[in-house]
Amino acid sequence: MSLSLAPESPEVRAFESTVASIDGRSVVLDETYFYPEGGGQPADRGVLGGVEVEHVRSEGETVVHDLAAAPEFAVGDEVTGVVDDDFRTYCMRAHTASHVLYGAGRHIFDDLGYGGFDISAEKVRVDFETTTEVDDDALVELERLVNRAVWDAREVSWDEIPVPEARSRDEIAFNVKTEEGVFADADEVRVVTIEGWDWGACGGTHVSNTIEIGPVEVLGRSNPGEGLTRVEFAVGPSAVDHRAEVQTAAYEAARALGTNLESLGETAVDVVAARDELESELADLKTEVLGARLASFETVERDGVTWKLGSVSGFGANEVGEAAKEARDESE
């Protein structure tokens, strides 16, 4: 019994293996190509011995397959495992894309550290530790650099190297959270290399070339904790769909403003400036009109106190109150 063979042979989707143990719906094989949840990557989906695999997890050096139903096969039987091709392929592309994104961060962020990583069905996130402000321009540049690295078809490889050597190489990124315990008793660490771009300690499944990732669309950023900036992005079909939604919204905005996409930003700035100027002018006019109406109120003296009597409409109570206070102060 050993850990998953998936990271070393991520292209394998079907295999034969001997059943080592069964505990209810939990099955252990002599060897497996199912990837167990860990390192920010979700567990593989698929079928084992004709039964749906609900989850795959690690227990020490053992990979446990949790099935949807009690299996009909027994310990010692030879069974067939089939890994869900679509989901494994997506996870490989998404995981490698996260390394490419971190590599892009190397180009534009200062004091860069790796703070976390996660893959979901809709999006992927990478947490950067950096003193650089990750503003809108940084997001645009990250997306540009990532897609350029994808287009450049950089080779992706992985090797086991001695831990002391890995620690001595400044270019290798380590994520203590997702690689928890990786150095505890290990003599070697697995390093995934994107040719000339990124180097990271990682136990996940990856594509063999960045061109396999496909389009990447940065979705946004947030701050999950002090010193961290979380960047979320989409890969593949979800990236294509999101890009189409953004393009549609941009075309609608351009049409409403009477301009084209190239001039949309400049036109929007001009429209906002014009709106602010009009709002300022309107506020001045309203103040002037309200002041004139208050000045036309009847003046009444009662018990040594001067009163202004009248009513106004079309103004808020706070506006009238402030104007009346100002008028009183000016008359004193």
pLDDT tens by residue, 176-211:
554 555 555 678 999 999 999 999 999 999 999 999
d(CA 323, CA 100): 60
Statement to judge: residues 178 and 322 lie in one domain: no
Give the domain-ending residue among 83, 113, 136. Answer: 83
Cα–Cα separations (whole angstroms), residue 93 to 17, 90, 173: 27, 5, 19
Q: Tell me the residue range of the domain where 248 lies.
A: 89-256
CATH number, residue 190:
3.30.980.10
DSSP letters, 182-214, are TTTS-SEEEEEEETTTEEEE--S---SBGGGT-
pLDDT surpasses 70 at 330: no
Compute the distance between CA of residue 266 and CA of residue 257 in angstroms, rounded to an integer: 11
Look at residue 1 and tell me whether its pLDDT is greater than 50.
no
Cα–Cα distance, 235 to 147 (Å, whole number): 11
Kindly state whether residue 185 falls inside one of the protein's structural domains: yes
User: What's the structural domain count of the chain?
Assistant: 3
Query: Does residue 210 come out as left (phi exceeding 0), alpha (psi in the -120 to 50 range) or beta?
Result: alpha
In the predicted structure, residue 300 carries a pLDDT above the cut 90? no
- 206 with 153, same domain: the answer is yes
Rounded distance, CA 191 to CA 193, Å? Answer: 6
DSSP bridge partners of 301 = 306
User: What is residue 299's predicted lDDT score, i.e. its pLDDT?
Assistant: 79
Q: What would the pLDDT profile of 260-278 be if each residue is shown by its tens digit?
A: 988 888 888 889 998 988 8
Spatial CB neighbours of 83, under 8 Å, sequence gap ≥ 6: 6, 12, 13, 14, 33, 34, 35, 44, 45, 46
Q: How far is CA 249 from the centre of its chain?
A: 21
Domain boundary among 39, 60, 83: 83
Res 191: pLDDT: 95
pLDDT of residue 250: 87
Task: Say what the pLDDT of residue 132 is.
Answer: 92
pLDDT per residue as tens digits for the range 58-100: 998 899 999 999 999 999 999 999 999 999 999 999 999 999 9
In this structure, are 37 and 62 located in the same domain? Answer: yes
Which whole number is the average pLDDT over 132-156?
96
Query: Which CATH number characterizes residue 22's domain?
Result: 2.40.30.130
SS3 9: coil
Pair 21, 81: CB distance under 8 Å:
no
| 293-309 average pLDDT score | 76
Query: Residue 2 domain-assigned?
Result: no
Q: Strands, DSSP E only, in 24-86?
A: 26-29, 46-48, 51-59, 62-67, 78-83
Band of pLDDT at residue 159, cut at 50, 70 and 90: very high
- Does one domain contain both 129 and 70? no
The pLDDT value recorded for residue 185 is 63
Q: How many C-beta atoms lie closer than 10 Å to residue 29's C-beta?
A: 25
Strand order in the sheet with 113-119: 113-119, 124-129, 228-235, 216-222
CA distance 29 to 153: 36
**Angle subtended at Cα 28 by Cα 24 and Cα 32, rounded to the nearest 5 degrees:** 140
